[in-house]
Chains A and B, each alone.
Chain A
């Protein structure tokens, strides 16, 4: 929370895809840092888009309806901003924020940031919306920032992927879990063309493949585990923990490129490291500044992959030593909490005067009578809020609580409404 106190942050989740769990990790991290963070649950709206697809209308009409409904979703985000009054709107790649809504937020003085956790070379739509965000965090270095500058986005922050130590952690697995999720050489992820071809060359190893999109490949079918279904985050952590060697082959849609050359480092690298699980990762140009050679074993060719698999499978001590060092490094440098801190510092640095202090902000505990302070202090701890949090921020956090409220929470809301009505 260095320097800017408790912030209110609205995290706009995407409706689908790999950036959705990242958004949820950001939300947890921001709360862990003591900020009042709320999510705009865009996935809840996805059902409506699916319903449009079931209308059986012409393709042109479908496109029109999708665009119109998206504008409604964007307006919902703006309405949420009006009520929640965030200091920052953080959107993840694919977030349903229209350019019109971003213009309105800018006009209203609400700072917006995008964490673009995509490959800019494949996902080229960034050109259409990047200038409308106040800050733009990316997982790639040059030439991406230069390209962003060319379209008018100067506030670019390199913010590599990360992992969540509360989720990605070493586990003591039962014998049944080891059988269900374990393999000598394990891979968890989707069946991209390069992976299919690469893994077909590893059938002489005890290879287990977890994840979806692996069907239609007879050579690999008996290696695909759990029926080739999509695995949950919790299951993936068990898979990571249960493997002797976790293969981490970055994806490519190009089947000619079995071990793709690329720059950004995928989330799995950080997740495996935080799990304390040993991994063999395909090398990336940005990997060496994130992990040292003695923290992560890496490969650049299929021959090197086979050679290192054979080497490490017979050396459990070396695997354990590397995995331990990787976990230490990840805990120190690659958590979502650290990334969020970095992002907030960046926004503060680029926009002097941010966040604009709320008029009449007063510490919650100072507002309350002595008999309630002890109980409220405990609530602040429960909400991960600092002792000097403002009353308004405490109320915002209480409003985010799910389910039935406690008598204390209810009385705080009551007090807030009373103060609004009577100006106390």
Chain B
């Protein structure tokens, strides 16, 4: 019997983006014919939701996040119990998905040959070659572009075909939803820019129902948005910020016709259920890395020269990436005008899947980094998916190989393998 463990100790969005890996592991068990189990370790706050999203997975709760009731003594006890449970089971593969000492500490329970992703053995943290490559890519984010869900999925040998991960986007009958800011406020649009967008999208949707979603921390933001809306839109608006637990949030999001959102956990939740997403990506958000997974979602991506930036570095450019979202041309486009052109610095992408994973295809506007990204994906596809793509013009991809591969990639055994490999 095959048994796999996935350590996903990050937030809601990350949990949802783990689906391709988890579903791929189940497909592997099914293909093997000998039965098997997939275990998932998450922060205790997400354990119930994880069980709901992935009903066939065995969920383990770990005290990975800080929060009420999490004092060191309680954390120690909970961790001891969870580690005892996890250590009692032999796993064929253990996937640690977060570059976090917490997950790597749990990996240390297992021998190096079963560890995948971020790993730790004999006190030495390390990461798989793919993740070493991904870290190198952060130097050139615009020219790269691998969806996080695909990076995790490719830590396994046989990832699930990407089109089988989430259902294609299709309206579910519950009207328009708007997700307020996620954890990174700079990635969201302020109410004065968001309000006209919401109004336009609401009218274009037929104007039945409008639901505002977010945590209690976003309630004031929701009120500010409603104040900026016209009376017809405001009166149709149901403000659920701070009123839904994760379970209710799932139900509401799964019923929507469309969700307007920045790069949030709610966005990934909508994609998970196949609810069409219209996302606004600005600041450090880059749709080619964390865009909604699946076929048929749309992302308005800021493509100003400084995008995507680093969240940790203060913006000294006056948040110029927000400005195109305030341009009336965007409203005309959202309203259905076929003639309007996107404002400079903004491009519309539609999500799709290729042999490697999720891909955002340019639909409107200009994207100067598209050619570079296409070459990168061809390079990555051969490296990750072993795709037999023709290298007609080898130069760009060979240059990428030369830039992104280091000698240690091919001269040292992969992490977790000893030097005596046998054929």
Interface residues of A (CB under 8 A from B): 14-18, 43, 46, 49-50, 53-60, 62-63, 66-67, 70, 74, 93-96, 98-99, 121-125, 127-129, 131, 143, 146-147, 149-152, 189-190, 193, 197, 200, 211-213, 216, 219, 230, 251, 253-256, 266-268
Whether A251 lies near B124 (C-beta < 8 A) is no
Whether B419 lies near A213 (C-beta < 8 A) is no
Proximity string of chain B (379-423) to chain A, C-beta cutoff 8 Å, 1 when within and 0 when not: 100110010101111110110011001111111110000111111
Measured between beta carbons, the chain B residues less than 8 angstroms from A59 are 118, 125-127
Measured between beta carbons, the chain A residues less than 8 angstroms from B421 are 16-18, 190
The residue in B31, B386, B407, B408 that gathers the most chain A C-beta atoms within 10 A of its C-beta is B407
The docked-state distance in angstroms from the alpha carbon of A230 to that of B132 is 30
Category for how many chain B residues contact A: 35 or more
Q: Which of A124, A150, A268 contacts B383 (CB 8 A)?
A: A124
Q: Which of A55, A152, A251, A268 contacts B398 (CB 8 A)?
A: A152
The residue in B382, B421, B423 that gathers the most chain A C-beta atoms within 10 A of its C-beta is B423
Measured between beta carbons, the chain B residues less than 8 angstroms from A255 are 28, 31-32, 158
Cβ < 8 Å to A, chain B residues 86-129: 90, 92, 118, 122-127
Whether B124 lies near A53 (C-beta < 8 A) is yes
B34 located at the interface, meaning its Cβ lies under 8 Å from any Cβ of chain A in the complex: yes
B157 located at the interface, meaning its Cβ lies under 8 Å from any Cβ of chain A in the complex: yes
Whether A268 lies near B407 (C-beta < 8 A) is no
Q: Which residue of B lies closest to A124 (CB)?
A: B383
The residue in A49, A123, A151, A219 that gathers the most chain B C-beta atoms within 10 A of its C-beta is A151
Measured between beta carbons, the chain B residues less than 8 angstroms from A49 are 412
Cβ < 8 Å to A, chain B residues 205-253: none
B314 located at the interface, meaning its Cβ lies under 8 Å from any Cβ of chain A in the complex: no
Whether A219 lies near B34 (C-beta < 8 A) is yes
A-B pair count, CB < 8 Å, reads 145
> Known contacts A127-B401, A219-B34, A253-B158: does B124 contact A16 (CB below 8 Å)?
no
Measured between beta carbons, the chain A residues less than 8 angstroms from B423 are 18, 189-190, 251, 266-268
Interface residues of B (CB under 8 A from A): 28, 31-34, 90, 92, 118, 122-127, 132, 135, 157-158, 379, 382-383, 386, 388, 390-395, 397-398, 401-402, 405-413, 418-423
The docked-state distance in angstroms from the alpha carbon of A255 to that of B93 is 15
Measured between beta carbons, the chain B residues less than 8 angstroms from A129 are 407, 410
Whether B401 lies near A18 (C-beta < 8 A) is no
The docked-state distance in angstroms from the alpha carbon of A256 to that of B33 is 11
Least CB distance from B188 to A in Å reads 31
Measured between beta carbons, the chain B residues less than 8 angstroms from A193 are 32, 157
Whether B411 lies near A96 (C-beta < 8 A) is yes
Q: Which of B90, B123, B409 contacts A125 (CB 8 A)?
A: B409
Measured between beta carbons, the chain A residues less than 8 angstroms from B398 are 127-128, 131, 150-152
Q: Ordered nearest first, which 4 A-B pairs have the shortest CB separation?
A: A150-B394, A16-B419, A127-B401, A151-B398
Least CB distance from A266 to B in Å reads 7
Least CB distance from A54 to B in Å reads 6
> Known contacts A128-B401, A147-B394: does B126 contact A53 (CB below 8 Å)?
yes
Q: Which residue of B lies closest to A146 (CB)?
A: B391
The residue in B124, B127, B382 that gathers the most chain A C-beta atoms within 10 A of its C-beta is B124
The docked-state distance in angstroms from the alpha carbon of A320 to that of B28 is 40
17 more A-B residue pairs beyond the given contacts A46-B419, A189-B423, A212-B422, with a C-beta to C-beta distance below 8 A: A15-B411, A16-B412, A16-B419, A18-B421, A50-B419, A56-B122, A58-B125, A98-B407, A99-B407, A121-B382, A122-B386, A127-B382, A128-B398, A151-B401, A189-B422, A230-B420, A255-B158
